[in-house]
Amino acid sequence: MRRSLVVLLLLVAGCESTAPPAAQEPPAKLAFAQQGRGATVPFVEYEAESADFTGKRIGPDRTAKTLAGEASGRMAVTLSKGDSLTFTLVQPANAVTVRYSVPDGTEGVLKVNDTELKLTAKYAWYYGGFPFSNDPSKGSPHHFYDHVRGLLGQTVAAGGKVTLSCECTIDLADFEMAPAALEKPEGSTSIVDFGADPTGAKDSSDAIQQALSTGDAWIPAGTFKVTRHLIANRTKLRGAGGWHSTLTGAGVGVYGDHSQGVHLSGFAIIGEVTERDDHAQVNGIGGALGGGSVVENLFIQHTKVGLWLDGPFSGLTVRNNRIFDTTADGLNLHQGISETVVEHNVIRNTGDDGLAMWSDQNANHHNTFRFNTVQLPLLANGIGIYGGHDNTVEANIIADILIEGAGVQVANRFSGTVPLSATTVLKDNTVLRGGSKFAGIQADVGAFFLFGKDSAITGAITLSGNSTMDSSFSGLHLYGSSMSQVTVERLTVQAPGTVGIQVQSMGAATVTKSRVEGGVYLCKDALPFTLTVADSTGLDTPACEGI
């Protein structure tokens, strides 16, 4: 778990310091970092604003639809011609991924030591109201950032320096040791044997589909053009690693069709989606993939949703993936999905919820989102659970919520969705800078948000060991017509923007063994609610003010 601690350390340190992290400096924020939360990752994340730089630091500023407001830590660094930014690495690296922004309609070059990476505004800059457009005349620009990644051609040692220059804004950079390309596994069949073209010139869709019929297809190092859904069922599709084997093109995706026993591993899926069209099936992974299927070690970028999975099915594991720069959710388990585990994924810069379970017409149940790191959904929540039963959200780290969302939202929401029943568990999650304004209900949403929007929440919601720090508004927020089986244990709320716990619902909750700063907002005369508190601090005198 050490690396997940480093990530969190840098996330937290980013708000408070302009000094670069010293090489091998021991983590100084362990009290909040809380061992064992978030994804275990092969990289260390560095905030630009914590590096040495010329140019201009922007932020901290949480104003929606601003460059600083959309940045990790709500700060970034704008470099002009002649400026540079230098990171001092705490671990060796030969590869980098940078979150950046360039003005709309432009391209640019980012120099990283001697490596040049191409920048583009193509996947950023949305305008107008939901679901947004690329038309500047609609006004209200947002979604300013994108990621670029590349191999450095050398290994920079721990303590070594990496200098970036560009005419752009840099938010953060992930540095890592990209592994060498994996060898072709024994017994697998290379897609090249079926005519796939590793130069990316020729469309390889048909060749890869044919290779999948062998049941064990191999993607060697190379860039393969794919322009439609590849359908996988009872097959492996493995690559030489996310830095080496890439499927890319307009419409690229790997889909299940009532599929079972699919194993996807070790490649990148890079789409060309520049708008949100909810009728277009342009997701990285889609369809139904159950029966012990595994999706792991993928890098998914520039698709509509990273993984949009349609039930009913049971039994999928999604682990160790990076899902960046989508126009809608990072991952959505859509109706009737069960016994599915989503773990150790990093989800960043999504156009909607980072991770969602939407029960819609058929309850999702017995699924778990655990040990994921979700940052910067550009709309909505880090994690959203809409209806269903017996689902668990555990040990995730969620940071920087921007508009109309919480760190974690549990809701009866979206017309006709099967309501929450039995028990939903939120355990040991950490939310940093969570919560946001929410125009739909004219309220400022808390870091953890229980939302009885369409109907009273009659299912139980159990929260234990959750923490929130520096939320934009409240720490824990109960909102809606009624909820009566809410149990909160060992909740920590540090430095909330408004109150510690905000109650705008009828019903009842018990809170035990909790440390809550900011007090409780509760207007009993308007909404009868019974809050039972034991063995806690900061919850003595609920008041009808503070928000």
Pick between residue 18 and residue 40 the one whose CB is nearest to Ca ion: 18
Shortest Å distance, C-beta 16 to Ca ion: 12
Under 8 Å CB-to-CB from 31, ≥6 apart: which residues?
A: none
Near Ca ion by CB under 5 A: residue from 72, 293, 372, 474: 72
Shortest Å distance, C-beta 408 to Ca ion: 22
Under 8 Å CB-to-CB from 132, ≥6 apart: which residues?
A: 126, 142, 143, 275, 276, 351
Cα angle value 176/181/186 (rounded, 5°): 140
- Which pairing describes strands 229-232 and 253-260: parallel, antiparallel, or unpaired? parallel
* Size of site (CB under 5 A) for Ca ion: 8
Instruction: Report CA-CA distances (Å) from 383 to 220, 358, 393.
Output: 34, 11, 8
Q: Please tell me whether residue 171 binds Ca ion under the rule CB under 5 A.
A: yes
Give the gyration radius of the chain's Cα atoms.
23
Near Ca ion by CB under 5 A: residue from 73, 222, 405, 452: 73
Shortest Å distance, C-beta 58 to Ca ion: 9
Pick between residue 69 and residue 354 the one whose CB is nearest to Ca ion: 69
Shortest Å distance, C-beta 378 to Ca ion: 15
Pick between residue 169 and residue 412 the one whose CB is nearest to Ca ion: 169
Q: Which stretch binds Ca ion (CB under 5 A): 66-74, 154-162, 384-392, 515-523?
A: 66-74
DSSP 8-state secondary structure symbol assigned to residue 90: S
Pick between residue 8 and residue 172 the one whose CB is nearest to Ca ion: 172
Near Ca ion by CB under 5 A: residue from 6, 7, 15, 71: 71
Find the binding residues for Ca ion in span 1-60 (CB under 5 A): 47
Pick between residue 72 and residue 293 the one whose CB is nearest to Ca ion: 72
Half-sphere exposure for 262 (CA within 13 Å, toward CB): 28
- Which pairing describes strands 93-101 and 146-156: parallel, antiparallel, or unpaired? antiparallel
Pick between residue 15 and residue 342 the one whose CB is nearest to Ca ion: 15
Shortest Å distance, C-beta 47 to Ca ion: 4
Pick between residue 88 and residue 368 the one whose CB is nearest to Ca ion: 88
Phi, psi of 393 (to 5 degrees): -120, 110
Shortest Å distance, C-beta 77 to Ca ion: 8
Shortest Å distance, C-beta 399 to Ca ion: 11
**Beta pairing partners, 265:** 238, 296
Q: Which stretch binds Ca ion (CB under 5 A): 68-76, 109-117, 338-346, 462-470?
A: 68-76
Cα 253–chain centre separation: 19
- Reduce the DSSP state of residue 431 to 3 states and report it: strand
Q: Which stretch binds Ca ion (CB under 5 A): 69-77, 78-86, 141-149, 318-326?
A: 69-77
Pick between residue 15 and residue 522 the one whose CB is nearest to Ca ion: 15
Rounded to an integer, what distance in angstroms lies between the CA atom of residue 371 and that of residue 533?
A: 29
Under 8 Å CB-to-CB from 327, ≥6 apart: which residues?
A: 273, 274, 275, 276, 303, 304, 351
User: 137 is written with which tokens?
Assistant: 């005349």
Query: Interface residues with Ca ion (CB under 5 A)?
Result: 47, 71-73, 75-76, 171-172
